[in-house]
Amino acid sequence: MKQTSSQIARKIISENLYLSLATLKDGVPWNTALFYAVDDNNNFYCVSAKNTIHVKNIEMNPDVAFTIFNSTEKPGDINGVQASAKAYLVEPKEIIHAATTVYKKRFSKSTADIKKYLSPDLYIGSAELRLIKIVPSKIFILDPTNKGGDDRVEVKF
């Protein structure tokens, strides 16, 4: 059975671990690879050190873009997710949800491993880490009907 664009995008998102996040400050782009997890509302979450360029850029400008793809695919077979989005540092009231989402994926749902990462104190104030929430505004994949082409189709979840 032929997969829909949404099914293709969800498969790419579920089968990969890292996204490539592009941020911008004063017209200067920055790109970084981040481990991610996605929740049931299609929000993406990442953890990063507070002193990184991308965290500082997000604090100044929430407009971001990201891609997710499997770099081991053969040329002509590759597909990926491309998205424009807004990124935010997670607010204290959302930290438990965000941290649970990220660490369930990282530790394969082992609650013993997850509990030590749920304290808001790990991600605010003078703490070294920050949780990032990425909210896609538009998501695209390569057009599955145009093999070898570079046309994109928007995906609706």
What residue spans define the domains of the chain? Answer: 5-89+129-144
DSSP assignment of 56-77 equals: HHHHH--EEEEEEE-TTSPTTT
User: Mind listing the pLDDT tens digit for each residue in 70-127?
Assistant: 887 777 777 899 999 999 999 999 999 999 999 888 776 566 767 888 889 999 999 9
Count, residues in the chain: 157
pLDDT mean over 123-132: 96
Task: Provide the 3-class DSSP secondary structure of residue 153.
Answer: strand
Q: What's the CA angle centered on 139, arms 134 and 143, to 5 degrees? A: 155
One-character DSSP codes across 111-147:
HHHHHTT--GGGTSTT-SEEEEEEEEEEEEEE-TTST
**pTM beyond 0.85:** yes
The highest-level CATH class for domain 5-89+129-144 is: mainly beta
**93 near 48, Cβ under 8 Å?**
no
Q: What DSSP assignment string belongs to 77-101? A: T--EEEEEEEEEEPPGGGHHHHHHH
- Name the burial class of residue 147, with classes exposed (0-12), middle (13-18) and buried (19+) by CB atoms within 10 angstroms of its CB: exposed
pLDDT, tens digit, for every residue of 10-50?
Answer: 999 999 999 999 999 999 999 999 999 999 999 999 999 99
Amino acid at residue number 49: A
